[in-house]
Amino acid sequence: MAARTVRLLVNGASRAVAAQPARPLLGVLRDELDLTGAKYGCGEGQCGACTVLVDGKATRSCVTTVGDAAGKAVTTIEGVARGKQLHPLQTAFIESGAMQCGYCVPGVIVAALGLLKKNADPSESEIRSALRGNICRCGTYPRIVQAVRSAAAAMHKGGKP
C-alpha cells in the first residue's frame, strides 16, 4: 500500500506524516515524530507499554493503525506534563517510587490519565481494573495504585486532569 499524508493532532499540535495507513501508530510516533515515550513491548496489544490516548481513550498504539488515528487527538507521555510543570500523576509516581526499571511507566501513566479523565475519584479496584492491561514486569503494582490515588487526591485540590 502506498504512503499517504496522514494528519494527527499530537499533544495539541497538528502533525502531518507520510505513512501507509495500515502502519502501527506506535511506529509512526516513535520513528517519524520522535516521540519515543510510548514503548514497544509485545507488539500484540497485550502489555500496555505502548499506551497513548486517542480522543481521550487509552489505546494500544501497537495495534492501532495510523489510518485509524487520522484526524484524532493523540496524547503521548510527552504531552502529559503541563508545560515545564509535571502532571500530578508524574509527581505522584516519583513521590510514591512507583517504578523500578521504568519501562512500563509511560504507558501506565497515560492509561491512568485516561481513567482520571472519566473518573476523578476512582477506588482501588477501579484503578486496578483500568490498569489490568498494563503489565509491570518489576511488580510495582501496589505503588502504582498508591500513586494514582495520590494523584487523584492532588487533582481534587488543584484542578482537572
Contacts with ligand FES by CB under 6 A lie at 40-43, 45-50, 60, 62, 99-104, 136-138, 140
Residue (38 or 155) nearer to ligand FES, CB: 38
Residue (46 or 119) nearer to ligand FES, CB: 46
Backbone CA torsion sign across 69, 70, 71, 74 = positive
Phi, psi for 129 (deg, rounded to 5):
-65, -45
To ligand FES, the closest distance from the beta carbon of 102 in angstroms equals: 5
To ligand FES, the closest distance from the beta carbon of 79 in angstroms equals: 18
Please state, in angstroms and rounded to a whole number, the distance separating the CA atoms of residues 20 and 141.
37
Residue (47 or 147) nearer to ligand FES, CB: 47
Backbone CA torsion sign across 3, 8, 65, 103 = positive
To ligand FES, the closest distance from the beta carbon of 100 in angstroms equals: 4
To ligand FES, the closest distance from the beta carbon of 159 in angstroms equals: 28
Residue (140 or 150) nearer to ligand FES, CB: 140
Cell triple for residue 86? 509535571
Please state, in angstroms and rounded to a whole number, the distance separating the CA atoms of residues 71 and 65.
12
Please state, in angstroms and rounded to a whole number, the distance separating the CA atoms of residues 150 and 74.
25
